[in-house]
Amino acid sequence: MKEKLKNLVAVAVVILLLPYVLTLFISGRDESSITAPKVRNQSQDKSQTESQAGGYGKADGIDMEDRVMHLVAKQIPMTYEDEAIKTQAVIARTEAYKEIEEGKDPSAAAGTEDLEKLWGFENFSENYDRLKTLVQSTAGQVATWQGGLIEASFHAVSAGKTRSAAEALGSDQFPYLASVECPKDLESKQFLEIRTYRPDEILDRLREKYPQMEVTEDDLLSQIQIASADSAEYVNQLQIGNVTMSGEEFRTLFDLNSSCLSFGMTGDEIRITTKGLGHGLGVSQYQANELAKEGKGCQEILAYFYPNIEVKAYDGAK
């Protein structure tokens, strides 16, 4: 009986202390994965963020700027201009702090081994010192809209202009994700990709994902219709037989570079042509790099892709 009572008391103590323990683990986490925008809650309690002087600090003994440095290293080529890399640092930091505000459990920054593997031993020291300097030059800076952190979306290369979130997502929650011209992206080696598939290859993959799909191999191309596209020419919806899917779903299914796509025939095969690399929302890294070559600074580049945002030192959750 006494043993059971002890066990019950132990369980009760764990339950009472659990919220406190979770707060300790959640507080100050700071790493994120940048993806297409989704609605986020910006009203998390400020106690979730361990904010130090200047609005940035450490979490779990790992400095925020170290985390940002590891993120940026994996997100943008080190061959890019300084101001383009600084732009990416602000983007990565913004998304990292959004993860913290949501109470998510981001992974810690890895050691230098991953960067040595990424850059190669011969380039490690030069790249490391350069990236550390660039990240530190933007320390604490984040992109905000009406006092809250923005959805800092980015992609490698646009299809000639970035997408409007209002069109792509059907939402007016991200007015700073507007469509802007990216003429230099057309010069990128990654701008255009053409693939060909046998009709049976396409059909097999479609039916695996959508077993209810009613299509035939004969004259398959005529059964694939672009139902809608946005002003940047990215496909919003495809109609294939009796199934409707988004352009991004089709892109993922066939591992295509983007959903700015078109169809044609090459002999007996179906040709899929894509423009750009990535989802097309937010900053186009290639165009950002070209703007940097023209002498534009980090804040000018951010303002170009995210109209009317403000770049400032992070001061915690609102």
Structural domain spans, the chain: 10-157+283-313, 192-275
The model's pLDDT over 233-271, given as tens digits with 9 standing for 90+, comes to 999 999 999 999 999 999 999 999 999 999 999 999 999
Q: What is residue 27's predicted lDDT score, i.e. its pLDDT?
A: 28
Residues 131 and 315: their CA atoms lie apart, in Å, by: 24
Identify the H or E element spanning 238.
Answer: strand 235-240
Rounded CA Rg of the chain: 23
Q: What is residue 188's predicted lDDT score, i.e. its pLDDT?
A: 98
Neighbours of 22 (CB within 10 A): 12
Residues 234 and 194: their CA atoms lie apart, in Å, by: 16
Q: What is residue 287's predicted lDDT score, i.e. its pLDDT?
A: 98
266 sits in the region (left: phi over 0; alpha: psi -120 to 50; else beta) called beta
How far from 293 is each of 63, 168, 190, 289, 297, CA to CA, in Å? 31, 30, 19, 6, 10
pLDDT less than 70: residues of the chain: 1-62, 105-110, 318
Average pLDDT, the chain: 83
Q: What is residue 107's predicted lDDT score, i.e. its pLDDT?
A: 56
Q: What is residue 270's predicted lDDT score, i.e. its pLDDT?
A: 97
Bridge partners for 245 per DSSP: 238
CA dihedral 291, 296, 300, 305 (to 10 degrees): 0
* Local structure of residue 111 (DSSP, 8 states): -
Residues 313 and 56: their CA atoms lie apart, in Å, by: 8
